[in-house]
Amino acid sequence: MNGKQVRIEDRRAFLEWLIASHRFKSASALSVLRFFLFPEERLARLRLIEDCSYLRPLLVVSTYGLRQPGLLYQTFSGSTTDDETILFELSFTEGPVYFAPFFPGRHRERLFLSAREEGGEAAAAIFARIGTGLETASTPRGSGTLKRRAIMFLIDQALERRDRKAFYLLTGELKKLTGGGTLACPDGEKAGSKG
Residue 120, pLDDT above cutoff 70: no
Q: Is residue 194 part of a domain?
A: no
For the chain, how many structural domains are there in total?
2
Residue 71: give its domain's CATH number.
3.40.1530.30
Residues 75 and 162 in one domain: no
Q: Is residue 191 part of a domain?
A: no
Per-residue pLDDT tens digits for 43-97:
999 999 987 667 889 999 999 988 888 999 998 888 999 999 999 999 999 899 9
Determine the residue type at 89. E
Three-state DSSP state, 50: coil
Residues 30 and 70 in one domain: yes
Task: Identify the domain boundary among 115, 141, 164.
Answer: 115
What distance separates the 2 farthest-apart alpha carbons in the chain? Answer: 68
Residues 150 and 106 in one domain: no
Residues in contact with 80: Cβ distance below 8 Å, sequence separation at least 6, in sequence order: 72, 73, 86, 89
Work out the average pLDDT over 150-169: 78
Residues 49 and 98 in one domain: yes
Domain that holds residue 46: 8-115
Tell me the pTM: 0.63
Q: Is residue 187 part of a domain?
A: no
Q: Is residue 22 part of a domain?
A: yes
- Alpha-carbon torsion (67, 69, 75, 78), positive or negative: negative
Q: Is residue 30 part of a domain?
A: yes
